Structures are given as structure tokens and as C-alpha cells.
Amino acid sequence: MTRTQALTVIVFPLAIAMAADDATVRAQSPVAQPMASRSGIDLASMDQTANPCDDFYQYACGGWIKNHPAPPDQPYYGRFHELQDRNNEILRDILDQASKPAAPADQKKIGDYYASCMAETEIDAKGTAPLGPDLQRVDGLKDKNEIPAVAGHLQTVGTTAFFGFGSAPDFKDATQYMLIYAQGGLGLPDRDYYIKDDANSQSIRAAYEKHVAKMMQLAGEASAKAAGDAKAVLTIETALAKAALDRTARRNPSNIYHKMPREDVKKLMPSFNMSQFLERAEAPPGDSANVSEPDFLKAVDQVIASTPLPDLKTYMRWHVVHAQAALLPKPFVDENFAFYGKTLTGAQEQTPRWKRCVQATDNDLGEALGKAYVDRTFGPEGKTRTLEMVKAIEAAMGSDIDAIDWMSPETKKAAVVKLGAVANKIGYPDRWRDYSALRVVRGDAYGNSQRANTFEYRRQMAKIGKPVDKTEWLMTPPTVNAYYNPLENNINFPAGILQPPFFMKSGDDAVNFGAVVAVVGHELTHGFDDQGRRFDAAGNMRDWWTTADGKAFEDRALCVDKQYSGYTAIDDVKLNGKLTLGENTADNGGVRLAWMALMELMKTKQLEKMDGLTPEQRFFVGWGQMWCENRSDEIARLHAKVNPHSPGRYRTVGVVSNMPEFAKAFSCAPTAKMVAQPVCRVW
């Protein structure tokens, strides 16, 4: 159930990825449908007693927030999750049918995978047996020199010990995949948790240590030994965390690009037998690799050299137990939830098993499940309508680049070339992934998940030295999300998001432009945000800006950084304006572009007042209503550290307060709270 760790392939999703640990799918509640209105706006979700100039988020979302308290299993619940709930019902139905003996042959694999995941009694009866082979490999280590071989094998089954390893496009030659090493092998979600000494970090660290001990006990250790082992794990992970690059630094792609001959990688780790690692990790032959964070590999080498072998074995044991905890017997699943769900996110209850198994199937066999989903939900007409919207937003971006006063003609020319080269992928892949090499055995949930990890790992390794396949999708069709990939210069909209409240087929243009068209604009703007601007039309990391234009961009971005750094996540924790800069830039740019496209449309099409709102007002309500959400205090803290997206409230008010068009639409006074001073604008 764990996703093979994403390495440093940089993609820009619309919202934070919904990992299994996020517990994003809602308990058996009736499926909520947005209330019908003439415009398609969910009027019951608004709070029309609030003053839009004073608190636009309350105005657009007050009703929704009140009527949708976060369910006990979902401490973070918003419109994305509401839609994912509806998708999950469809996916469950598909998988229930596929699990039956009479299921069509092409759906047997997803049916068997799902049914095995659901078979809790069988999983419990097997106990810790599925862990056996990998734990024996670790326990059998007699010498530190044997560590690389075992660590290499673990990579192939989806267990990351010491560092991440895989393939990614070469940043400077985005037509080719290459080997990549990245920081990894930590059990906590961010290096800060190991290093910072504030009360919250300390208490999470202490809870994590207890969690490691408990898991080791469940895996068969006596309690005194488990407690000592947890300390050893913390010591090793802390040493690694200290050498890890922080998230803000990692936003600059040149900080995580160090292409070197493979011989030089060996020099970073003199006491680690890299040849043996590469062999067991099934790395194809080749000359070079990208070491994202060379200092991290050096630290791994030092840690291995200076730590006693028994402690290193303990660290590796922990990662074996941790990696697939979700498919072990109930006590493991419960303990895993107690830490990653309760302590880290504030969830009160576990997500029902069927939803976890739907997500696991989507994760491991996403394009097989996705094909069945697309057949049911998304026809070719969905693709056509979406493409029309994409064209409208691209035209708006072209006019925007043309009109801005801070960029020289020279840089503008390159920007227009990049814009013209953006490829659009809508709904689902043209060619579906072939899973025939993946063996799924009914009744072997753990093995299926490990084999799926191996299948995916080998698929990644097989890319090395080959041209980049830009038709590949990095999200599955039922996913409620979207992304821009700077290394391929394309925008991607899975079928899962092209539904209400993001896309109202029969809704009015003003609302759709504020919602789905702004989302398209958001993704497009990523090609021109603080990260995306460092890649050119072909997806290569190359500076196509003049020095003066680069400086003008930075100045404007700094305004956005300061604006969002002033927003409070919770208590004394502020948003990190640098971590969220790209997303905030994309939100502001996306809404600006969608606005321009709407104004263009209104030149030829008259939009009337509807539901008591002018078209201009409906546009902004459409944007705001995508971000209605409730979140626990724990989520607010966690996301302030790790999520490059601002909370829904600030995605809404941060954008509208930068737009004089908003103040005009709602007749806000210049001194109103929703009118920013100064107004920030990049695009």
C-alpha cells in the first residue's frame, strides 16, 4: 500500500497528493451532491450574511464549512475529498464486480488485488510471516560490507533504507531518463521534526520513538529491546535528517541537480560498496547519475562507517516493518494509524477498509482500474469541452505576456515560445499501461503489494538511457487533482477532477471560468513560477531570462512571499511564503488568466445576473467554493511544514485581495480587509 517513493521528479499538482496516510476518503456518509441552482453555484454553501469585502472566504464557504465538519476519519476535508468520495463509490462498485468469478478477463487483476486487500481474516491469520524473507536478509548481515546488497534488494520491493533511488529525466537534457539518488530513508515527514526543538516537534519525535518501539515489538521483539532499538533508529535518522536539504532549498532545481559519472558517486561513499548495491538494485549499466543531494550521500556513508552493525540492522528492520504496515495484521495497521493518522493528522477514526483498499488498487494498478472508471464516467465529449477551455486560457496567457510592462521583448519572445509548446493531456492516457508482467495472487495481499512495487520499480529502471515518453501520466484517471510537469512542459487533467464542483457541464460560464478554467490557468502558470521558469520550452533546465527580467520577476515574487508569510496557519505558526510561493503564484496567475478569458468571452456573449449575483461576482464565488474545507489543528501544523499549497482560506482571500476587479465586483472600499496593500502581481 505504500507508494514507491517519488524521487526528485518535480511536478506541480493542484493540491497535496492524497497518500494513504492522509486518510482522505470519507466514511459511509450519504454521497453529497452540490445543491442545484441556476448558475451551478452551491448557494447553501455560501454565507450571504457575511460581508464579502470583510471575509470573502466566509461569504463563499461559510455554509459549507458549517455543514461539513471534518468526519472522524478525515481530519482534512474539503471539496476535493467530497468529490473523491463520489469517485470512490464508483471505484468500489467497479472493484466489487471485478472480484466476482464472472468478471471480465481484463478486470480480473484489479478484482483479485482488491479482494486480497479486503481479506482481513486471511491477512491476520498469516501474522508476521510475509515479513519473513526481508527480515531474514537483514538479520543475516554479518558484516557492514554486506549492507549495500541488502539495501539494493530492498529498493526493488519498495523499501527505502538510507536513500531514495530510481530514474528521472535529466534536468538538462529532458529527452533522456537517468539514474537518480535522493535523500530518503526517514520515517517522519520532514527533516525539521528531527532537528527543531519547539514543543510540537519534540512531542511528535517522542511519539515517533514510541511508535517505532511498538512496531518492533509487534514484529517479535521483547519490549526492553524494542525501546533500545527505537532509540537507535532515532539516532540514525536524526544524523541523516541533519544532512538533508530543506524543502525550500529543494524548490530551486539547480540545488538538486548534480550530474556526475557513476565512478564519482562511489567517491561520495567510500565505505559503501556501490557496485554491489547497483547490481542488487537492478540498475541498468550506464555512465552517469544525478545525485540530488551529495551531502546526504556523504552523511549516509559516515553514518554507516560510525554506527555499530547491530544498530544499522535495527534501522533496516524498522524500514522493512514500516514499508508495508498497511497490509500486515490488524495490530500493525492500528498502530500505524495511531501514529501517522491520530498523532500526525488528528484523525479520530481509521478510514473504512474498503476505501483504503480502493486507494491501494488505484495506487498499484491505477491504469487498469482507471480504464474501467473512464469507460463509466468520462466520454470523448468531456475531452473536447476541456480542450476548448484550455485553448481559451492559453490565449489569455499570450495576451498577458504581451501586455506586462516588466518584461523585455527578448524574454517575452522566449516565454511565448514556451507557452506555444505546452502540451495538454486531458482525462486519461491514449495508451493504457500493460500490467501483464505483474503477478497478482488472490489471497496474498502483502505479496501483491510488494510485486506491484517491484513492477513499478523495474518500469522506472527500464527507462534509463531511453527517451522520455511524454504521453505517460503521473496521476491515475480517477484522481481528483491536476499537474504541470516542467520537464515535459505539459499540463495534465485526470478525468477525476473534471466534475462538479470544479467543472459544471450545465453550469454557467462565469462559475466555470472561476473554477475549472482558473485551475487550468493555475497549471499553466506553473510553467512560469519560481521553479517552472527555470525550465525552457523543451523541458530543459536553462535560464532563458535576461538578468534584468529575472530580477524583476524575483521582486514581484517577493511581494507574494511576504503577503502569504503574514498569514497564520495556526496559533503562532505562520505560512512559509517561500515554500508556498510557486502555488500562490499559480493561484494568482490562474485566476487572473481565467478572468481575462472570461472578459474576452463576455465581449461576444452576454451573461445575465443569476441567483442574485452578477457574472463577475459568480466568477469569484466559483473560485472560492473550490477551497471550502475543514482541517484539524494537527493538519494545520503538518501542512505548514510540508505542503507547498496554502490552506483553502488563503488560496481564496490571498488571490481576491490582489485583484482590483474583485473589489469592483463587490464594491469594496479601498480600506476593506479584502483589498491588499500593496497589491502583488507576478502574472
Consecutive H or E run containing 596:
helix 581-602
Closest approach of Zn ion to the CB of residue 660, in Å: 24
The residue ranges that bind Zn ion (CB under 5 A) are 12, 14, 583, 586
Closest approach of Zn ion to the CB of residue 172, in Å = 24
Closest CA to 630 of 84, 57, 65, 86: 65
Query: Cβ closer to Zn ion: 166 or 527?
Result: 527
- Helix axes of 380-403 and 581-602: crossing angle, nearest 10 degrees: 100
Nearer to Zn ion, 491 or 676 (CB): 491
Beta-bridged to residue 12, according to DSSP, are 484
| Between 373 and 567, CB nearer to Zn ion | 567
With H, G, I as helix, E, B as strand and everything else as coil, classify residue 168. strand
62 vs 582, beta carbon nearer Zn ion: 582
Helix (H) or strand (E) holding 177: strand 173-183
Radius of gyration of the chain (CA): 25
Residue nearest to Zn ion (CB): 12
Active site residue 410: no
Q: Nearest distance from residue 15's CB to Zn ion, in Å?
A: 8
Min separation Cβ 16 and Zn ion, Å: 10
63 versus 521: smaller Cβ distance to Zn ion: 521
Which is closer to Zn ion, CB of 360 or CB of 397?
397
Q: Could you tell me the three cell numbers for 350?
A: 481509521
Q: Rounded CA gap, 618 and 612, in Å? A: 9
CA dihedral 196, 201, 203, 208 (to 10 degrees): -100
User: Minimum distance between the CB of residue 482 and Zn ion, rounded to whole angstroms?
Assistant: 8
Cα–Cα dist 485/464, whole Å? 19
User: 423-427 and 490-494 as β-strands: parallel, antiparallel, unpaired?
Assistant: parallel
Q: Which positions ≥6 away from 213 have C-beta within 8 Å?
A: 223, 226, 227, 229, 230
Catalytic residue among 523, 529, 561, 583: 523
Query: Rounded to the nearest whole angstrom, what is the least distance from the CB of residue 639 to Zn ion in the complex?
Result: 14
Q: Among the options 587, 616, 629, 634, which is catalytic?
A: 587
In terms of CB distance, is 361 or 481 closer to Zn ion?
A: 481
Measured from the Cβ of residue 499, the count of other Cβ atoms closer than 10 Å reads: 18
469 annotated active-site: no
User: Min. distance of Cβ 204 from Zn ion in angstroms?
Assistant: 27
Q: Are 494 and 475 in contact (CB under 8 A)?
A: yes
Please answer whether residues 511 and 622 qualify as being in contact, where contact means their C-beta atoms are separated by less than 8 angstroms.
yes
Listed in sequence order, the residues at least 6 apart from 282 whose beta carbon sits closer than 8 Å to its beta carbon are 152, 156, 457, 458, 461
Catalytic (active-site) positions: 523, 587
